[in-house]
């Protein structure tokens, strides 16, 4: 094998969603450049070794690993603490779906107690509430007058800032959300079908039997 494929192989390993096997690499190359491209699993193995040598020589911070099911890039272990720090920061930063749900309930129902939140969500919400408190997106404001006098949760100024709102009344109204979220897919569908029908009728009327026939109008042209 000419090593013209070294970069192609690298790009395939780099971008594959999961470790990629030598045979998949070969298939991708042959699919694009032709079945007659002669390239073996050994060639792939050798290329990977060559790439790893280049990485070492060039002091790259990553390498190609051989995992059970194929090849994949991975950062070298000596950078594990930086990589680990980054991933922990990211996982903490992302408001999880559950936290967002809790936040939404509080935002729209405030002031609200924990039992009320849990009634809506159907699950214990201690952890989520604490996460939101920690991120200063909600805070405690007094107590409800109901049995047990549970704490009342409200959103904070930080919450407003985070979502670009001046005041809590600026939250999108449920009605507004419905308006945007309504399922208009079928309207769109209907419109397209309608357009096709019109065209057919016109074409029949003008008696022009062009080769498009009953095909539709819409840009299938390029297919």
167 contacts other proteins (rule: CB under 8 A): no
**Helices 41-57, 6-15: inter-axial angle, 10-degree rounding:** 80
Do residues 44 and 26 make contact, with C-beta atoms less than 8 angstroms apart? Answer: yes
According to CB under 8 A, which one of 1, 65, 144, 154 is a site residue for other proteins? 65
Helix H or strand E segment including 73: strand 70-75
Contacts to a copy of itself from residues 18-77, by CB under 8 A: 20, 24, 27-29, 31-32, 54, 58-62, 73, 75-76
According to CB under 8 A, which one of 50, 108, 144, 168 is a site residue for other proteins? 108
Indicate the SS3 state at residue 25. helix
Contacts to a copy of itself from residues 168-187, by CB under 8 A: 170, 172, 176, 179-182, 184-185, 187
Beta carbon of residue 148, minimum distance to a copy of itself (angstroms, whole number): 10
**Which one-letter DSSP state was computed for residue 1?**
-
87 contacts other proteins (rule: CB under 8 A): yes
Tokens of 149: 């006098």
Q: Which of 90, 95, 177, 87 is nearest to 138 (CA)?
A: 95
33 contacts other proteins (rule: CB under 8 A): no
Nearer to a copy of itself, 29 or 48 (CB): 29
């Amino acid at each position: 094998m000419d090593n013209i494929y070294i970069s192609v192989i690298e790009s395939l390993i780099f971008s594959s969603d999961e470790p990629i096997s030598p045979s998949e690499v070969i298939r991708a190359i042959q699919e694009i450049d032709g079945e007659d491209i002669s390239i073996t699993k050994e060639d792939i193995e050798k290329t990977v070794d060559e790439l790893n040598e280049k990485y070492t020589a060039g002091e790259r911070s990553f390498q190609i690993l051989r995992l059970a099911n194929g090849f994949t890039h991975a950062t070298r272990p000596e950078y594990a603490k930086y990589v680990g720090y980054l991933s922990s920061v990211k996982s903490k930063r992302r408001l999880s779906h559950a936290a967002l749900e809790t936040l939404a309930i509080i935002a729209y129902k405030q002031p609200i107690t924990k039992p009320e939140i849990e009634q809506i969500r159907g699950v214990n919400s201690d952890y989520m509430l604490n996460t939101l408190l920690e991120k200063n997106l909600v805070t405690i404001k007094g107590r409800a007058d109901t049995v047990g006098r549970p704490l009342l949760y409200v959103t904070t100024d930080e919450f407003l800032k985070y979502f670009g709102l001046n005041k809590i009344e600026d939250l999108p109204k449920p009605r507004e959300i419905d308006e945007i979220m309504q399922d208009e897919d079928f309207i769109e569908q209907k419109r397209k079908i309608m357009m096709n029908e019109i065209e057919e009728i016109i074409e029949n009327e003008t008696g022009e039997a062009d080769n498009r026939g009953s095909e539709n109008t819409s840009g299938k042209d390029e297919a």
